[in-house]
Structure 1
Amino acid sequence: MNRPASLVGMEPLERQTLGERAYAQLCDLLVSGRMAPGEKVSLRSTANALGVSMMPVREAVSRLVADRALEVTPNRSVRVPVMSVTQFRELAAVRIVIEGHAAAEAARLRTDDDLVHIGAAESAFRRQSAMADPDAGLSVSLNKDFHFAVYAASASPLLVEIIRGLWLKAGPVLNLDLRASPERLREGGAVRFHADALAAIQRRDAAAAKAAIAADITGAADFIIGRGALAP
């Protein structure tokens, strides 16, 4: 059957949907810090885990390489990039500006429902951090949940999309902070900064909300750089 000229070049809907789903799943792994810098991505293993063929995974990986969230090495393997100290400092500086602005907007525009979501995320992270043997992987994910609950309250889908792009790069490095040790979770500043951000948003204090998120980003960056875990 001949297709109308306007439909020529369109891909089957199922294949396109699977590619989008694969992309979303891989993005979530990166943003949630469940993949580490230098970790290789096996297309075959990923396809098996997702229950799809290799094609949608290849499409998703190609998009993430274009996003610079993944990279192709000289031997053609795919991995999470290993960030240098200079690159990480630049990323942290950009995050402070953009995510700080989002937190300020959240304080200004938040609704009662937003406060419920932010409060629940803050409480979940705090409870996990206080455990005698906290789950480091879960803590990384809960940290992400708190931040994005705050940013969602900014009422700016575009701003949240930009921040997700930053976290595609930052997420794998952030796990070097929260996965470092149980002591880091209990004694680090994240719990305090999250509480400060929540309190500021509750009282609609935009400047304090911005400062709390900036302090959280700065504290994590200083710790990661201090550990010497990044490339020179």
Structure 2
Amino acid sequence: MLLEVLELSKSYGTQKVLERVNFGLKRGELVALMGPSGCGKSTLAKCIARLEPFSGGQVLYEQQDILQMEQKPFRQALQYVFQDQLNALNPAKKVRDLLGSVCRRFQTHALLNEALEFAKLSPKLLGRYPRELSGGERQRLGIARAMLVCPEILLLDETTSALDKKLKHEVMQVARTYQQEKQTTILFITHDQALAKEYCERVMQLKGGHLL
């Protein structure tokens, strides 16, 4: 397994959000994580991405405890794309600068044009601010930023939830094409059963903090 989640638990005070969750992701898989609102899907993704601490259990990347990994190698291995890119992206920076900062940190300037092409973003958008992009363009920009790191694992947290049907498919086609060509592992958190069935190889169901 490329990624293993072992007995993962998460609580906020006395409220248990995740209880002993176990699953694995193979290299190159596109897997959906579904469940009702408030069941802990996004919390689980954020725990895996080290954006939130977890209360118990382990997450292993290639058999290494992610909590023991240095920050930069971990971010090169795993990238998380937020649901609301308008809040996730710095509104004071143009697209060129948002992508350029990632290129500088990870020394991936040579991948910029490829990432734009994968994400179906026109180079003309480089001079715009996030607020000047459509909802679909912003979500694809978030994915393009992640692509610049060349991650082994990509977590897409409700990245299609605020989009209309056409744009949902555009975003998922971008993700699937990238996954297939780069053999990237993708965990897609969604409420959309039709999207999960069409694009994902398997579906995991989370309910009440437990995987069914």
TM-score bucket (shorter structure): under 0.3
Higher gyration radius (CA): 1
Q: TM-score, normalised by structure 1?
A: 0.25
Please state which structure has a larger fraction of its residues in strand: 2
Higher relative contact order, chain-length normalized (CA < 8 Å, sep 6+): 2
Larger helix proportion of the pair: 1
